Amino acid sequence: MIDDLRIHPGGEPGPRPAGELVLYWMQSTHRAHDNFALDFAIEQANALRLPVVVYHGLRVDYPWASDRLHTFILEAVVDLYADFEARGIQYGFYLDPGPGRRPARSPLVLLAERAALVVTDYFPTFIVPRQTRALRRKVEPPVVAVDSCTVVPLAFFDRAHLTAISFRSALNPAVPHYLRRPESPEPRIQRAIDLSFEPLVPTAATIPALVAGLSIDHAVPPAIRGGTRAGRERLAEFLATGLSSYAELRGDPTAEHATSRISPYLHFGNLSPHEVVLGAREAGAGQSSDKFQDEALVWRELSYNFVQHDPKHRTVDAIPGWAREELRKGEADARPVLYTDAELEYARTGNELWNASQRAFLVDGWMHNVMRMLWGKAVLQWTPNAAECLRILEHLNNKYSLDGRDPSTYAGIHWIFGKFDRPFYRRPVYGTVRYQSLKAAAGKFDTEAYLSRHARELPGIG
């Protein structure tokens, strides 16, 4: 049975008796394992003696749609076909061809109208809440959103926690109960359903041409291979070679394998947070394993707690009052320089270390945590105010980073403005909000090595 705290119904009555299927509409949890929405759909389908069908669509018109994001998702779809087939579950993927080439009626709506019940992923930010509300308005069957985001369900916490210390003490007692691999039920009714659209079955060989034919941003090229298989390879490699020195080396952005680099796979749901944390526990005890679990559990789930409880997490209204006031006063202070959006985006500032970190986003689609902190703090003094800084940081993070558009995006960016932090000594522009210096970074790690690692420009942009 799925924990009630994971289930977010839309207020509609129960399943429609007339339905021919239970539909799982996959939005943000791109995996066939450890997936509570899928499990709930199977449970309901078994109880109603109906088949379960998985519909997964990819639009062209979501914000920041690009070759990079589309390719990552399509690579995950290759795995999803294999994984659902192995479980005997019908999965159909629909690639939106874009305006003017779409069928008269949306394949999702057509399928949902035939369902007794629609189950979808609960995700507290980006386009997911809006899409779920839109389907609820369009179709008669109930649309139930189920949370697979975190180890401890988001609804377990009835308030926003303002510090990691407070959140840790609320989360830790719940972990023993929730930290286990979910036992997924098997579907009892195996009956193929006519999907009313031709599902697309991509392969590694066909993905480049598929992506090239869509009207999305072709200037942001693929960067990291997507999917559960690639994610598990990455996780296994880290657990075998990086975890034991994580506590010691995670602060060094030049130590390439010191952190897991699994954030894109967690963002798209290719990996479950359960398998990541349990994997670290099984790989060994000690300071490094504890530190990694603290990041993957406490900091990651604190980010979800923030976004879940603050509908204004994309705005400066989510900055803590004391910090907002400090930054507002700092607007009167002289900036060393103000850069245009293009100078920031294409890594054309006067600071070479900052440019190298931005090139990590541009070229690799990922940036080390230490560099993200320096990167964000620097932009505060190169923009006129916090609102402008937030706008450009969100744009750069979400456009280029494969783990962007995530609760951790907004928690990370708001940390730049003082969220989860305390006041420090006052200085111009920042007031008492913590300052971090790009210049001082030279004494902390080998900045020359970082510069040469990120010397490559993204071809064709800027």
Q: Which residue is nearest to ligand FAD (CB)?
A: 412
Provide long-range contacts, Cβ within 8 A and 24+ apart, for 219-222.
219/66, 219/458, 219/460, 219/461, 220/66, 220/67, 220/68, 220/69, 220/399, 220/400, 221/67, 221/68, 221/458, 222/67, 222/68, 222/71, 222/72
Q: Which of the 8 DSSP states describes residue 148?
A: -
Smallest distance from ligand FAD to CB 43, Å: 28
Contact residues: ligand FAD, CB under 6 A: 250, 259-263, 266-267, 295-296, 299-300, 303, 369, 372-373, 376, 397, 401, 403-404, 406, 408-409, 411-413, 415-416
Q: Indicate the residue among 16 and 291 with the shorter CB distance to ligand FAD.
A: 291
- In whole angstroms, give the CA distance from residue 242 to residue 84: 31
Smallest distance from ligand FAD to CB 273, Å: 8
Contact 156, 174 (CB under 8 A): yes
Q: Indicate the residue among 163 and 190 with the shorter CB distance to ligand FAD.
A: 163
Smallest distance from ligand FAD to CB 168, Å: 13
Q: Indicate the residue among 202 and 376 with the shorter CB distance to ligand FAD.
A: 376
Count of CA atoms in the C-beta half-sphere (13 A) of 68 = 23
- In whole angstroms, give the CA distance from residue 170 to residue 156: 10
Smallest distance from ligand FAD to CB 373, Å: 5
- In whole angstroms, give the CA distance from residue 6 to residue 40: 10
Q: Indicate the residue among 172 and 206 with the shorter CB distance to ligand FAD.
A: 172
Structure tokens at 197: 């659209």
- In whole angstroms, give the CA distance from residue 100 to residue 215: 11
Contact 148, 35 (CB under 8 A): yes
- In whole angstroms, give the CA distance from residue 270 to residue 200: 19
Structure tokens at 131: 């899409």
Q: Indicate the residue among 208 and 284 with the shorter CB distance to ligand FAD.
A: 284
Smallest distance from ligand FAD to CB 181, Å: 18
Smallest distance from ligand FAD to CB 260, Å: 3
Q: Indicate the residue among 186 and 341 with the shorter CB distance to ligand FAD.
A: 341
Q: Which of the 8 DSSP states describes residue 431?
A: B
- In whole angstroms, give the CA distance from residue 205 to residue 52: 30
Smallest distance from ligand FAD to CB 407, Å: 8
Scan for tokens 């690579």, then name that residue.
75
> What sign has the CA pseudo-torsion 318, 323, 325, 330?
negative
Smallest distance from ligand FAD to CB 408, Å: 3
- In whole angstroms, give the CA distance from residue 396 to residue 39: 35
- Buried (b) or exposed (e) across 97-120, using 16+ Cβ within 10 A? eeeeeeeeebbbebbbbbbbbbbb
Smallest distance from ligand FAD to CB 34, Å: 15
Q: Indicate the residue among 93 and 306 with the shorter CB distance to ligand FAD.
A: 306
**Which amino acid makes up residue 200?**
L
Please provide residue 92's backbone torsions phi and psi, each rounded to the nearest 5 degrees.
Answer: -130, 130
Please provide residue 116's backbone torsions phi and psi, each rounded to the nearest 5 degrees.
Answer: -75, -30
Q: Indicate the residue among 385 and 436 with the shorter CB distance to ligand FAD.
A: 436
Scan for tokens 């509609």, then name that residue.
12
Q: Indicate the residue among 20 and 295 with the shorter CB distance to ligand FAD.
A: 295
Q: Indicate the residue among 57 and 242 with the shorter CB distance to ligand FAD.
A: 242
Q: Indicate the residue among 114 and 234 with the shorter CB distance to ligand FAD.
A: 234
Smallest distance from ligand FAD to CB 297, Å: 8
